[in-house]
Amino acid sequence: MTNRTAPTNRTAPTTRTAPTTRTAGGPVTATYWMDHAWLGTHVEPDVTVEVADGRIAGVRTGVETPPPGATVLRGLTLPGLANAHSHAFHRALRATVQVGSGTFWTWRELMYQVASRLTPDTYFDLARATYAEMALAGITSVGEFHYLHHAPGGTPYANPNAMGEALIAAAAEAGIRITLLDTAYLAAGFGEKPNRHQLRFSDATADAWAERASLLKGDDHTLIGAAIHSVRAVPAGQLATVAQWAEERNAPLHVHLSEQTAENDACRAAHGRTPTRLLADHGVLGPRTTGIHNTHLTEEDIALLGSSTTGTCMCPTTERDLADGIGPAVALQKAGSPLSLGSDSHAVIDLFEEARAMELNERLRTHIRGHWTAAALLRAASADGHAALGRPDAGVLEPGAPADLTTVALDSVRTAGPVPRLAAETAVFAASAADVRHTVVAGRHIVRDGRHALIEDVPGALAAAVAALHH
C-alpha cells in the first residue's frame, strides 16, 4: 500500500481529439465501449477498454462508434468501487434496529442476537445475497471484517475456518472480489473475559488466532488479511502478534479505532494513553494498516496516524445510524492518512451515499462547502479503497489494472439534466446505488442493465436469508 493523494477536478476538453491508445497485456478477450468514462481527472467521451486475462489490456479514447463485437456501456463508467469495511451478517439488522431508541451499546445487544443464530450454511446464504446487493451497487471488491469464527459457546467447527470459507465462497458466487480480514477478538474489554455472545468470536489468544488464520487460503479473487477488532478486544501485550502476522505476509491490517468515547476513556484508565497511542506503541500503525472510523481523536492521534500513513476508513451511513459522531476526515487526510469508505453495518449499501455523506457531514459541522472535489471522493470510493484492501493496482482505468468497471446511468430521474462533463459530480452528489447499470469484475459482466447475471432474484435471496435468522 502506498501513500495516496486525491486528484483535483479537471473538465474534459470541449472538442474531440484524435484517438489515443494505451496498451498492455496479451490477447484481448473482451472489449467494452463507453460513451463516457472517468479517467481519474476528467470525464472522457467515447472510450474503449480492452480486456485480457482479467486485466485492462488497452484504453483507447476518441473512438466515436463501438468497435465490432464490443459491449456497449451507456452512462458514466468508473473504476469498480471498493467497500473497504463490511460486516456481512449486519445486513440482517436493517430496519429491525430502527425501532425505539438507544445507543451503540444497546444496538450491539441486538447484533449479538443475530450473530448467535448463524451457522456456516446460513451465513453463506446471507453473505451471498449481501455481496450480490453490493455488486448491484457497483461494488467490485469488499473488505470483510470477519470475527464470527466458532460455533455457539466458542467450540471450533470441525473445519476451524468454516465461517470464513463460507464468506469466501459467497463472494465468489456473487461475482465480487473479497479481502477476508480475519479478526482477532479475544476479550470483552480491558481485563475482561469474553461474554457468552463473544465466545463465538474468540480464539483465546493471539497465537491461537494466528494459527487458525494461517490456514486460510487466497485465490485470484480472494486476499487474506488481518484485523484487530479494537484495543478493548485484544490485550495490549498481544497486539504485536497480530501486527507481525500481517507484516510477514505483507497483508492489510484493519482495526476499529476510537469509534466511541467510552472506548477512549476505558483505554486511558487501563493504559494511561489513547487507543491510537497504544497501537503506535505496539507497532500496529503503518501504510498497510487502516483505522476504521477514527472518530474521536486528539490532535496527537491525528498526527500519529498521518505521519505513519495509516489509512482511515470512514463509514458515514453507519456512523450516523449508530449516533457515533463525525470523524475528523479532513484533518486526517491533510496529515497524510489516505481515506477509504465502507458500508459497515449495511444500514444502506451505497458507496455514492457514503462519499457524499462524508462531504455533507463536514458542511454541517463547519458551515463551509467543498471540502473534497468529486474526484477526491471517487478516489476514496475506488482506488484508495482497493489499496486499503491490498490491491494498490486497482481502482483506475489504466492498462495493467484489474478490469473492474462500474457504469452509472446518466438518464435516470436522479441523474438526468447535467451536462456530461459534470458526470462525476452527478454520480457523487445525485446518483444512488439504484442508478448502477453495469458491474464488470475481471472483465466478466456481473451486473448487466441493472440485473445480476449470476443470482436471478437478489431481493428474494435477501428476504429468505434474513427471515431464516428471525424465526
Please identify every residue annotated as catalytic.
293, 344
Contact of 341 with 428, CB cutoff 8 Å: no
Amino acid at site 90: H
CA distance 199 to 240: 22
C-alpha cell at 144: 470483510
CA distance 179 to 84: 9
C-alpha cell at 320: 450516523
Amino acid at site 112: Y
How far is C-alpha 53 from the geometric centre of its chain's CA atoms?
24
CA distance 168 to 108: 25
Residue 277: other Cβ atoms inside 10 A: 19
Contact of 403 with 54, CB cutoff 8 Å: yes
- The torsion angles phi and psi of 81, rounded to 5 degrees, stand at -85, 150
CA distance 201 to 3: 32
